[in-house]
Amino acid sequence: MKVHEPMTFATDCGLAAWCAWLGYLLSSGAPSLHPEVINWWIGGFAATAIAAAAGAVHHGLGHALAPAVNRACWRLALLSLVATGRCLAQVAVLTAFSGNALDNATLVCWCVAAFLVVAAMRTDRFAAAICAYGLGEVALLVAAFAMRAHHPPGHLAWIAAAFVASVIAVAVQRSQRGFGQRFNHNDIYHVIQAAALGFFYLAATA
């Protein structure tokens, strides 16, 4: 079976493996003082790995699949990115809130995630999933800044680095500018996002 977009397929597969590895490292690391937070971090890496794997199938093998199967793979990628954003948002609220405020913030996060799921399914557009992912990152950055006195300096620094890298990745992807057919805008996006996820891992372990 011929791969339609070989470099996009390869970078998506690499991103999926990288995210799965980072999630495994977190799950098998030393016991944390905040296991619930770590579990949401692991969920974020797992969801991103699923999104990348589904994207690899869509971009590389979608032409050989039944249209309904290919569309299902694409929607799985979108929903998985929404799930990633939801996980990041929950890390944020667990970092910043407690008691009733935590319950209320969690409810808001679920409502926003539900809205973005509907938006992603109705539009089938990558922008809807990126919006969910971006909102989770913004929430995480704001929470890390607000609670910076309660965490090591590296925590905020790594989250900020991840946020900046993600912004650059999205800007490149939306510009649709790359290095020709052999390494296009999606491929560059995957590589930069791999770096951003590495920064998130360092934030989770800081």
DSSP state of 5: S
- Average pLDDT rounded to a whole number, residues 128-157: 91
Residue listed under structure tokens 């799950």: 27
Are residues 33 and 70 in contact, defined by beta-carbon separation less than 8 angstroms? no
> How far is 7 from 103, CA to CA, in rounded Å?
43
> pLDDT-based confidence at 1, cuts 50/70/90?
low
Mean pLDDT of the chain: 91
> pLDDT-based confidence at 69, cuts 50/70/90?
very high
Q: What's the pTM value of the predicted model, to 2 decimals? A: 0.92
Over 26-47, what HEC string results?
Answer: HHCCCCCCCHHHHHHHHHHHHH
**Which whole-number Å values give the CA distances from 130 to 40, 120, 203, in the listed order?**
19, 10, 21
**Which whole-number Å values give the CA distances from 68 to 1, 62, 101, in the listed order?**
19, 10, 42
pLDDT at 33 > cutoff 70? no
For 195, the token pair is: 């770096």
pLDDT digits (tens, 9 = 90+) for 74-122: 999 999 999 999 999 999 999 999 899 999 999 999 999 999 999 999 9
* Coil vs helix vs strand at 140: helix
Q: Where are the domains of the chain?
A: 6-205
Task: Provide the sign of the torsion angle of the four alpha carbons 159, 9, 127, 132, taken in this order.
Answer: negative
Q: Give the contacts of 30 (CB within 8 A, at least 6 positions apart).
A: none
